[in-house]
């Protein structure tokens, strides 16, 4: 059985394939949309949309027009998100009434970088201090631990002066 929102949608916006194939297709269409949303309606009535945001981060919006109980909604969202795999995982963003539109339920997720636990924030790998994240920097270290790590590596570096004068 499919929902009326699925039946009424343009056939190019209906997703009738397996859910495991949704993410590659949705992500590809979102890249081609160049910053605009691309979406599909699933047979169960869910709208799953994606856009590529700043820093090439993916933003996913899952919405349902007709109301369902809260537990069923959370289960649907988790089922979809489980199939949308990214290296760092997803961070759920708050949704205000203006973003909700006509939908009864809305969830919005932002892609995290692989070194983040929240958007823009990482934890120092050594001491656990929260620090600003940087793309593609791994492992993340606070300034104190980074200095300690670099100083610990110094004795292993060859001393050029000692090698030149023959002390090594």
Least confident of 6-20, 21-35, 124-138: 124-138
Residue 78 in tokens: 């988790």
Q: Which tens digits make up the pLDDT trace of 100-154? A: 888 899 999 999 988 888 999 999 888 999 999 887 666 788 888 888 887 776 6
Sole residue written with tokens 């919405």: 63
The pLDDT value recorded for residue 148 is 84
- What's this model's pTM, rounded to 2 decimal places? 0.80
Q: Which tens digits make up the pLDDT trace of 38-63? A: 999 999 999 999 999 988 899 999 99
Neighbour count for residue 153 (Cβ, 10 Å): 9
The residue ranges of every structural domain in the chain are 4-111, 121-164
3-state SS, residue 166: coil
């Amino acid at each position: 059985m499919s929902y009326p929102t699925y039946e009424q949608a343009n056939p190019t916006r209906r997703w009738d394939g397996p859910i495991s194939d949704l993410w590659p297709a949705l992500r590809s269409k979102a890249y081609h949309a160049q910053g605009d949303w691309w979406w599909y309606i699933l047979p169960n009535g869910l709208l799953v949309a994606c856009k590529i945001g700043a820093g090439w981060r993916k933003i996913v919006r899952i919405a349902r027009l007709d109301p369902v109980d809260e537990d069923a909604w959370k289960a649907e969202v988790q089922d979809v998100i489980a199939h949308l795999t990214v290296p760092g995982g997803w961070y759920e963003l708050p949704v205000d009434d203006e973003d909700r539109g006509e939908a009864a339920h809305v969830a919005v997720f932002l892609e995290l970088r692989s070194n983040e636990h929240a958007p823009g924030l990482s934890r120092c790998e050594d001491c656990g201090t929260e620090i600003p994240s940087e793309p593609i920097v791994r492992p993340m270290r606070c300034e104190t631990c980074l200095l300690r790590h670099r100083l610990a590596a110094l004795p292993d570096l060859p001393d050029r002066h000692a090698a030149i004068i023959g002390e090594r």
